[in-house]
Amino acid sequence: MKNLRVMVFLVVLFVSFSGAVPAFAQCSVCSTNVETNAKSGGTTTKGLNNGIVYLLAAPYIAVAAIGFLWYKKYRRKNVELNMRASKIHLN
């Protein structure tokens, strides 16, 4: 069962990162500087776009890590159920 959970987690993680689409959004000052640099033959645009994507992904990764740690800490392990062996009559 544990191997199945790990496998499902890895598949979900792979699907999440494989479907990522590059984002092309900058503020007006950044876009002006990047356009000027791109016209003169620089490669700053790709680096700036990658940096924005990393900054966007950081909060999601942090929330996922906290959720995983919370799950590991508070899940119940080997809980004993004290149930009677005799049948319960409701009449």
Q: For position 25, what pLDDT does the model report? A: 62
For the stretch 7-48, pLDDT in tens is 999 998 888 888 767 766 667 777 787 788 878 877 777 787
With a cut of 70, say whether residue 88 has pLDDT above it: yes
Buried b (16+ CB within 10 A) or exposed e, 38-57: eeeeeeebeebbeebbeeee
Provide the mean pLDDT of the chain: 80
Provide the whole-model pTM: 0.42
